[in-house]
Chains A and B, each alone.
Chain A
Amino acid sequence: EVQLVESGGGLVKPGGSLRLSCAASGFTFRTFTMNWVRQAPGKGLEWVSTISSDSSWINYADSVKGRFTISRDNAKNSLHLQMNSLRVEDTAVYYCARVFPMLRWDPTLTVASDYWGQGTLVTVSS
């Protein structure tokens, strides 16, 4: 059974840092592209970042570029999101998600995520 479990969320002051992790199991993690997607309280979904299976392709939303860093450890089946210079508007539930299998690499196909974790809440407040 595919499982994604996020951790690392919490309360942090504006300007602070937080590192989210996502533990993957039940599938061959090293062969899948992964996403981080967030959802502010009462709001819709917002894509945050994507990393390819071998970390050779990384993409960020403009809203987090230069502040967030996505990474993965295929040996440990884990995905990470280092968040620096946090702002109040970064407050959200952060989900890690597996990208739907692709027959060939195509970044436009990274939109589809077939498995999601339960999410971890990040609250940025003074």
Chain B
Amino acid sequence: DTAVSQTPKYLVTQMGNDKSIKCEQNLGHDTMYWYKQDSKKFLKIMFSYNNKELIINETVPNRFSPKSPDKAHLNLHINSLELGDSAVYFCASSQSGSAFFGQGTRLTVV
């Protein structure tokens, strides 16, 4: 009974393609996030979203866009993938402080 689940777990794709990563949480949390963890293991916030407010890290290219069909879902769309997009992408949710993470999606762009 996974609290935060994201799919796929692994994604290998060619440069220039468009891809999506899905995330769902069954915790009833109001806020969801997307993080990117690069090869140096640094977890950087990409987006924070809570139905009313989307906060975007200004360093994130506009090729990345979050889509939230409802409170329990926050998907990540990536257009025109580049080699530098290769990383592990984590979805997370929180209600009052601590965040719970999905298992991560390891994206490899070739």
State whether these chains interact: no
A residues in contact (CB < 8 Å) with B = none
